[in-house]
Structure 1
């Protein structure tokens, strides 16, 4: 990422009194759940767009939007949820988006009138939505390991990256992916001091790296030192190195802690133009 780009850090839900947009991810299913609370207005809409943007950046296997606690009797939020489905479809690979709310809710009636039932699945409960996404999800190429919060565990990082890159014919990513994953694991060892779950997944022409620990503390964005951009020790928690090597990185809360992720991709072939991920702006 460029130095002037911000990581996709999603802190536990905050907002004005009675209003919030919260998100939790799940390491094992890779499904992210977004819940919208309070009366729908311009501020809540802006918060929802920002949270969705950060959730899509992580490329989840599916996204559930829970609207049970949203007060929107006029259905003013309906266009955003339909648009979110389109955002997910344009991701590569696509991210299926589903909505949860009572069938008798005014918003549900508005969505039905807009024809959402044909392209935006609506479920009465989050467990129903989660089960449907799990049943229909594609199974990406994914390696997982579980580590103890011990510095010796860092020795396992090169092995899993070597195996992934050899299996998926990505030899040019061995060095940057090893460096990024080692920093994420070291950060979890130093600060979470809990069991660490690691996943390495194939993503188009690159790798998606995930580190899950039991600490709820979302890491801060790295603070660069003017005139000394290459010294990770002076950039805070080693995340400056992650920022410089990864195409994107971020963090999401989970029900048992947090998940920190990063993507590392191969550069486009000479004479070819890289295809950017669709924007949700």
Structure 2
């Protein structure tokens, strides 16, 4: 049977690759070192498969067809989707068998996801993988959540997806080690007059609640205050999937810093793998 070996989360923003000189040397090094350490922590649990929870930034989907949840069930993922991202063009390895299993389990548990075998992954996936040094070390199963175009799935539903994901991992018959990496957020605003705003108070309260065990308070904060943290903060749904996959046990925050010149509250965290 498959073994769940841990859940992790990291902010993603393309400017960490595109505009490294926008921040001072010390800040840049702190962020890069934190991502490197997260990559080492993920590598240390030796995952064969990494379920990477992110969102599609209007590259694979648009207003004519925008699923709330999409499971990637292919064996290969070209990246990046953006021609402007300062990153090498890669073909990331997938795991079609686990993707198909996750899709089947979702349907059995009364979830109704879309699925695709032809996604082109964007900076939400590639930036954290590159900074963590994981881009060629695991087989990726993308889980893309609509965090971009309302109506959005509820925070509660995202947490439920995490519980279902864990059930799917535990029921997978192959002898593989599976980790979860959620990417996105935390507070940031894209293409609005508030771009460059970072709501540190929202970020720190979210991290505090993720570290604790009060699910009701976590969902209230995420639901009632996300609008105060910018349109990009809607990506905390991805973090809630990781939280649910880890059984709602408290995470450990490894790094947090508000970096307005990179437009983002940057955080990295992990959850334990105990049953």
> What TM-score do you get using the length of structure 1 for normalisation?
0.28
Higher RCO (C-alpha under 8 Å, 6+ residues apart): 2
Greater helix fraction, Structure 1 or Structure 2: 2
